[in-house]
C-alpha cells in the first residue's frame, strides 16, 4: 500500500481526553478513530491488525473443531426474560422500537444460541457440538476510559460448546485452553492462565491475564508458572512461598484478554435444551463458553509492545511486515523495492509521500511495522538498503538482493 494514498494521517498528539496509552498511540498513528467514549472505528491500518487477529483466532477455533456462525445483534426480550438477565444484567442495552416493543442489543449470545440449538439438537448423536462467532457486542460499560480495552461496542469471539455429559465438556474445556494458549502466543502476548470464580454461572472459571500496569485486574501468580489466581477470588497472599519451590508468589496488575467458563446446565436448564440418550432417556445438555475480546487484544498488544516513539507490532499481527521509506536520492530504488518485495510475497507499506526524512522516520517508528527498509542516496550508491528491526536499535546495510530473504527469515 502506498502511504500517499492512505487517507488516515498521523497526528502529533492524541485527543486530550484519551488517558490510555493504547488509544493515544492508535489514534495518533491513524489506526482507529474515536466516535465517543468506548466506541471506536477502525481505519485501514487498524483494520489490517484486527483482521490478522481475527484470522489467528479463526484458525485456532477451526482447529478445535468449532463451526462458525453469525448470530443476530438484536435479540427478543423474551429470551432474556427466560434467563432472568433482562433484569439482572446491568450493562445490557435495552431498546424500544416505534411500536413500543422491547429488544436487547447483544452483550453476549447465550440467550440466542441456546434456543437456536434447541431446534437442531435432540439426540446424543447430535453431540458434542461447538459453535463460535466473531461479532460485535454492546455493553453499557460505566468505565469506558481505557481505549480498546473497555469498549461499549467491541468485537468478541464467543465460542459455545455442547456436550452429553460433564466429563466430555471438561475434556473439551482442556482442549480450549490449548487453543487459547496458541492464540495468545501467536499474537505476541504472554497470557497467564488464571483461576477465577465462576460468578453466577459455575464453581470456577479461567481467565487469560496479561500482566501490565494498564490492567484493571489484579492477579497473584507463581514466577515459576504453576499457579495464578485473580485476587478478587482467592484469598492467596502475595509473598507466600510457592509449594513447588519457585519462590514467593507475586502480585501484578493485569488485563483479562480472554476467559473460559464450564457453564454446565445453567442455560440449557433455562431453555430446556435436552437430548435423548441411547435408551431414550432425556438429559440436559452440558455447556461451556469461551470468550476473547479482539479489540481488547489489540489494545493489550499496544500496551505491552511500545516504546517512547510508538508501537512495535509483533510479526503475525502487524498491518505490514515491512515499511519501505523513500528518502531523497533513493526514490527509484524504493519504487523497485516496493514492487519486488511484494512479488516475493511480503506485505509492504511504502512511504512515497513528499515529506521530510525526519517526518518519515518518526512516522515509521510511530506506526511500528516490524521492519523498516530505507532507500536513500547513500544506500543507492552502494546498491544496498538500510534495514532496521523496529525493536532493535541498530540498522544494517543489506545488499538489495538479500532483503527479501532477510525479512522472511523467522527470527
Buried b (16+ CB within 10 A) or exposed e, 156-194: bbbbbbbbbeeebbeebbeebeebbebbbebbbbebbbb
> Which one among 163, 206, 296, 388 touches ligand ATP, defined by CB under 6 A?
296
- For ligand ATP, the closer of residues 14 and 298 by Cβ is 298
Q: State which of residues 48, 85, 109, 150 lies at the interface with ligand ATP (CB under 6 A).
A: 150
Cell representation of residue 83: 434467563
Answer for which of 114, 263, 292, 322 binds ligand ATP (CB under 6 A) is 292
Does position 310 bind ligand ATP by CB under 6 A?
no
| Interaction of residue 154 with ligand ATP, rule CB under 6 A | yes
Number of chain positions touching ligand ATP (CB under 6 A): 16
Show Cβ contacts of residue 88 under 8 Å, excluding neighbours closer than 6 positions.
Answer: none
Q: By CB under 6 A, tell whether 26 contacts ligand ATP.
A: no
Q: Is residue 20 involved in binding ligand ATP (CB under 6 A)?
A: no
Shortest distance, position 312 Cβ to ligand ATP, whole Å: 22
Question: Smallest gap, in angstroms, from Cβ of residue 298 to ligand ATP?
Answer: 10
- For ligand ATP, the binding residue among 46, 115, 288, 291 (CB under 6 A) is 291
Please report which residue ranges of 68-124 form alpha helices under DSSP H: 77-83, 85-88, 110-118
Query: Segment near ligand ATP (CB under 6 A), from 7-15, 172-180, 274-282, 289-297?
Result: 289-297
Q: Does residue 153 touch ligand ATP according to CB under 6 A?
A: no
3-class secondary structure per residue, 110-155: HHHHHHHHHCCCCEHHHCCEEEEEEEEEECCCCCCCCHHHCCCEEE
**Rounded Cα gap, residues 272 and 268, in angstroms:** 5
Within a 13 Å sphere around the CA of 92, how many CA atoms are in the beta-carbon half? 23
- Residue 156 vs 236, nearer CB to ligand ATP: 156
Cβ-based nearer residue to ligand ATP, 28 or 150:
150
CB closer to ligand ATP out of 151 and 262? 151
CA dist 181 and 39 (Å) reads 28
Find the length of the chain.
411
| Cβ-contact 135, 73 below 8 angstroms | yes
Closer CB to ligand ATP, 61 or 321, in the complex:
61
Q: What cell numbers appear for 160 in the block? A: 459455545
Question: Least Å distance between CB 137 and ligand ATP?
Answer: 7
Closest CA to 57 of 186, 169, 145, 217: 186
Distance of CA 158 to CAs 51, 108, 202, 316, Å? Answer: 16, 8, 18, 22
State which residue, 133 or 376, has the beta carbon closest to ligand ATP.
Answer: 133
Residue 288 found at the interface with ligand ATP (CB under 6 A): no
Q: Does 23 bind ligand ATP (CB under 6 A)?
A: no
CA atoms within 13 A on the CB side of 102: 11
Taking alpha carbons only, the member of 148, 186, 123 closest to residue 26 is: 148
- The binder of ligand ATP chosen from 29, 106, 113, 156 (CB under 6 A): 156
Q: Which is nearer to ligand ATP, 179 or 334 (CB)?
A: 179
> Can you tell me which of 48, 75, 139, 306 binds ligand ATP, judged by CB under 6 A?
139
Is residue 29 within 8 Å of 302, Cβ to Cβ?
no
Report the residue number, 85 or 296, with the smaller CB distance to ligand ATP: 296
Q: Rank residues 156 and 324 by Cβ distance to ligand ATP and give the closer one.
A: 156
151 binds ligand ATP (CB under 6 A): yes
Residues 245-264 binding ligand ATP (CB under 6 A) are 256-259
Residue 285 near residue 274 (C-beta atoms within 8 A): yes
Place of cell 459453535: 131
Query: Is position 110 an interface residue for ligand ATP (rule: CB under 6 A)?
Result: no
How many C-beta atoms surround the C-beta of residue 5 within 10 A? 10
319 binds ligand ATP (CB under 6 A): no
Q: Cβ 221 to ligand ATP, closest distance in Å?
A: 17
Residue 358 CA neighbour count, 13 Å, CB half: 0
The residue range among 55-63, 114-122, 264-272, 286-294 that interacts with ligand ATP, by the rule CB under 6 A, is: 286-294
Under the criterion CB under 6 A, does residue 266 sit at the interface with ligand ATP? no
DSSP H or E segment with residue 399: strand 395-399
The contact set with ligand ATP (CB under 6 A) reads: 108, 139, 141, 150-151, 154, 156, 256-259, 291-293, 295-296
Amino acid at each position: 500500500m502506498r502511504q500517499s494514498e492512505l487517507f488516515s494521517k498521523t497526528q502529533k498528539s492524541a485527543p486530550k481526553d484519551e488517558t490510555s496509552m493504547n488509544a493515544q498511540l492508535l489514534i495518533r498513528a491513524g489506526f482507529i478513530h474515536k466516535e465517543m467514549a468506548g466506541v471506536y472505528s477502525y481505519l485501514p491500518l487498524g483494520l489490517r491488525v484486527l483482521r490478522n487477529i481475527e484470522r489467528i483466532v479463526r484458525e485456532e477455533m477451526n482447529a478445535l473443531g468449532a463451526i462458525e456462525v453469525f448470530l443476530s445483534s438484536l435479540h427478543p426480550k423474551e429470551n432474556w426474560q427466560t434467563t432472568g438477565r433482562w433484569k439482572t444484567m446491568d450493562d445490557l442495552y435495552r431498546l424500544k422500537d416505534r411500536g413500543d416493543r422491547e429488544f436487547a442489543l447483544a452483550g453476549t449470545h447465550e440467550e440466542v444460541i441456546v434456543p437456536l440449538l434447541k431446534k437442531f439438537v435432540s439426540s446424543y448423536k447430535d453431540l458434542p457440538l461447538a459453535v463460535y462467532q466473531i461479532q460485535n457486542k454492546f455493553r453499557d460499560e460505566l468505565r469506558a476510559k481505557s481505549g480498546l480495552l473497555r469498549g461499549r461496542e467491541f468485537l468478541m469471539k464467543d465460542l459455545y460448546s455442547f456436550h452429553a455429559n460433564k466429563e466430555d465438556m471438561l475434556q473439551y474445556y482442556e482442549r480450549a485452553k490449548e487453543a487459547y494458549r496458541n492464540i495468545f502466543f501467536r499474537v505476541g502476548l504472554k497470557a497467564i492462565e488464571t483461576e477465577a470464580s465462576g460468578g453466577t454461572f459455575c464453581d470456577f472459571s479461567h481467565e487469560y491475564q496479561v500482566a501490565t500496569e494498564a490492567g484493571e485486574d489484579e492477579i497473584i501468580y507463581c514466577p515459576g508458572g504453576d499457579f495464578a489466581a485473580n485476587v478478587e477470588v482467592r484469598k492467596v497472599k502475595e509473598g507466600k512461598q510457592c509449594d513447588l519451590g519457585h519462590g514467593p508468589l507475586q502480585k501484578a496488575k493485569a488485563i483479562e484478554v480472554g476467559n473460559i467458563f464450564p457453564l454446565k446446565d445453567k442455560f440449557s436448564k433455562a431453555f430446556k435444551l435436552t437430548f435423548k440418550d441411547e435408551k431414550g432417556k432425556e438429559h440436559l445438555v452440558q455447556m461451556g463458553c469461551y470468550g476473547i475480546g479482539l479489540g481488547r487484544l489489540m489494545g493489550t498488544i499496544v500496551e505491552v509492545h511500545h516504546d517512547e516513539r510508538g508501537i512495535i507490532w509483533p510479526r503475525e499481527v502487524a498491518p505490514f511486515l515491512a515499511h519501505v521509506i523513500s528518502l531523497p536520492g533513493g526514490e527509484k530504488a524504493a519504487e523497485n523495492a516496493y514492487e519486488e518485495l511484494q512479488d516475493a510475497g511480503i506485505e509492504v507499506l511504502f512511504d512515497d509521500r513528499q515529506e521530510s526524512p525526519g517526518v518519515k522516520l518518526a512516522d515509521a517508528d510511530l506506526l511500528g511495522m516490524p521492519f523498516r527498509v530505507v532507500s536513500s542516496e547513500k544506500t543507492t550508491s552502494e546498491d544496498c538498503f538500510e534495514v532496521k528491526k523496529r525493536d532493535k536499535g541498530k540498522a544494517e546495510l543489506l545488499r538489495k538482493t538479500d532483503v527479501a530473504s532477510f525479512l522472511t527469515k523467522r527470527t
